[in-house]
Structure 1
Amino acid sequence: MKIETLEFGYFYHIYNRGNNSGTIFFEEKNYNYFLQLLSKYIVPIGEIYAYCLLKNHFHFLIKLKDESEISYERFCILNDK
């Protein structure tokens, strides 16, 4: 299996689907929790241009920030919590 490396400054369409197209968001609070995680892990390193959360899958259009725009110290502090 080839591992793709994401590059700074590029746009990416990131998507995923539940196993066997199964549900991944069972309740309204699941969507909110997912968006909180998105904010915690993606916002420090990228810009979110669009997203779509559906019952059994999701899509994001993000652009990774340039390496000089990322505060690794801040990112490490956020992930320690």
Structure 2
Amino acid sequence: MKDLEPGHTQMVQYMYSVLNAVGMKWGLCHSEVKIDKKGPVLIEVNARPVGLAMTAAYLDECLGYHLTDMAVDVYLDP
């Protein structure tokens, strides 16, 4: 997380606490969070990949790896 902006670091730390609270230890997760004046606000969290609005090619370009490949790796070696 050293390369993240301060607001992004806060959001990532918040999501770790949310995922721990719901018992999610590994696997895919789709979450939506906004940050208001008081800090992060959870919109939703689901144990699923991102929706259809995010194409595989877009994610590949942004992440540098294919989401399906990452998911298989996580499920085979959590």
Larger radius of gyration: 1
Same fold (TM over 0.5): no
Q: Return the structure number with greater helix share.
A: 2
Higher relative contact order (CA 8 A, sep 6+): 1
Q: Return the structure number with greater strand share.
A: 1
Name the TM-score, length of structure 2 as normaliser: 0.31
